[in-house]
Amino acid sequence: MKVLSTSFILFFATFLGGQDVESELGFVYMKAEYLLETQRYGEAIQEYTKVISQDPTYQDAYRQRAEAKYALLAYQGVKDDIIELISIKGVDANSVRLLGLAESQLGNHGPAVNSLLLAHGLFPKESEIITALASSAYEANDPSACKVLQSKNGNNTVAKYLATVCKTPSTKPSRNKKSPKNTKTPPTDTSEPSRPSKATDKRVDDIVTVDPSTSQQQEIPNTSDNNNAEAPSQGTVIDDTVNRIVIDEDLTIVVKNGIGSRMIVDQPSILLLSEKAGQVTVDICISKAGRVESAAINAAETTINTESLKSLALRKAKEFWFGRGDEQCGTLVLEINGN
């Protein structure tokens, strides 16, 4: 590829001087990409800025610079870059995602909810979007995300939002403690036969809270008799999803072993020519920011031991960029169909 690029530049340099500018711009962009991939965010921002100053429409310079700024918690800068990007290239999925996350971090919760609802539709499994959406919807007291987040209540931020803004059934009894004054007469009529008639105001409160207390009494035996009952809920956190990414007829990338459902924000371009068929397996660990922190060949599951292929697999594995979330480890497999 380097030989082709060099030949291309030498051939056209004599006739079209403008190509020198573009090739130089491409080199600066590649340098910025490398700095971003190695988490040298400040330097990456400087290089992306050079690219943008010469050509604001060049590849994904604005979005990549926004990603670098997000990693540095420069949320206003993220918002500014995404708005500029949208004005130039229009709206895309990653722009909506970054704008929503930035607005949430900036405390602009109303606009954040609008963007994050759309982003959730595009990336329904990304935990960072779910948490940010619940947080901003809670702060804005906005019930528009209630239906969307009902199935996500394992998240503490989501549970808080559902319990307060959405008023889920599980929270109604506790809120009813404040409402007996309005419903005092009907309950006393139906419940007085089972209780003394003295101090009915207090006893009405007692009667209203019977349902939650009895539900708690039902839960206590379950947790004491089945101490392992929480184990399945913890087990459901394990990600068994297998994400197959078809690159071309010769190569498929498989993402699995705990990271299959994690959103892939960016993936490297891979051109692979091999006469051998088989797979190269790489064990990776991902940071909370979505960066691949480490990559190592899994020798036991690798069937092609060509050093050049293994080196390529390691390098490309580190170029994957996942969505923000928990620190996770998993596996990338390069499935190769030999020519």
DSSP one-letter string for 291-331:
BEEEEEE-GGG-----HHHHHHHHHHHTT-EEPS-S-EEEE
Residue 239 and residue 259 in contact, taking contact as beta carbons nearer than 8 Å: yes
75-89 and 93-106 are packed helices; what angle lies between their axes, rounded to 10 degrees? Answer: 150
Mean pLDDT, rounded, of the chain: 77
- Averaged pLDDT, 149-172: 79
For 328, the token pair is 């996770």
Which amino acid is present at 140? A
Angstrom distance (rounded) from CA 316 to CA 310: 10
Domain boundary assignment for the chain:
2-164, 175-214, 243-336
For residue 179, pLDDT over 90 is answered with: no
Place of tokens 């030989």: 3
Q: Which two tokens stand for residue 314?
A: 């390691």
* Band (259; pLDDT cuts 50, 70, 90): very high
Query: Can you give the pLDDT at residue 238?
Result: 64
- Output the pLDDT for position 1: 44
Tokens of 321: 């960029």
Residue 173's pLDDT band (cuts 50, 70, 90)? very low
Whole-model pTM: value is 0.47
Beta bridge partners of 204: none
CA 118 to chain centre: 14
pLDDT the model gives residue 125? 87
Q: Which residues make Cβ contacts (< 8 Å) with residue 67, sequence separation at least 6?
A: 36, 98, 265, 321
Handedness of CA 41, 47, 53, 55 (dihedral sign): negative
Whole-number Å distance between alpha carbons of 225 and 239: 28
Q: What are the pLDDT digits (tens) for 231-245?
A: 444 444 567 899 999
Q: Per-residue pLDDT tens for 87-137?
A: 988 888 899 999 999 999 999 999 999 999 999 999 998 989 999 999 999
Nearest to 65 by CA among 91, 107, 29: 29
Of 65-74, 92-101, 217-226, 261-270, which range is least confident? 217-226
200-222: per-residue pLDDT in tens?
343 333 333 333 333 333 333 44
The count of C-alpha atoms lying within 13 angstroms of the C-alpha of 22, restricted to the half-sphere facing its C-beta, is: 12
Quick one: pLDDT at residue 217?
37
Q: Which CATH architecture has domain 243-336?
A: 2-Layer Sandwich (3.30)
Percent of the chain with pLDDT over 70: 72
Q: How far apart are CA 28 and CA 34, in angstroms?
A: 10
pLDDT for 108: 94
User: How sure is the predictor about 76, in pLDDT bands with cuts at 50, 70 and 90?
Assistant: very high
Region 267-290: what's the mean pLDDT?
Answer: 86
**What is the C-alpha to C-alpha distance for residues 58 and 50, in angstroms, rounded to an integer?**
11
Q: Please, are residues 148 and 180 in contact by the beta-carbon 8 Å criterion? A: no
Using alpha carbons only, give the angle 166, 172, 175 rounded to the nearest 5 degrees. Answer: 100
- pLDDT tens digits along 6-23: 444 444 444 344 445 567
Distances in whole angstroms, Cα of residue 132 to Cα of each of 107, 259, 275, 330 = 11, 20, 47, 25
Nearest Cα neighbor of 136 from 168, 166, 103, 167 is 103
* DSSP for residue 289: T
pLDDT band at 84 (very low <50, low <70, confident <90, very high): very high
| C-alpha–C-alpha distance, residues 49 and 32, integer Å | 9
Q: Regarding the domain delimited by 2-164, which CATH topology (the fold level of the hierarchy) does it fall under?
A: 1.25.40
What is the DSSP track for 70-88?
A: HHTT-HHHHHHHHHHHHHH
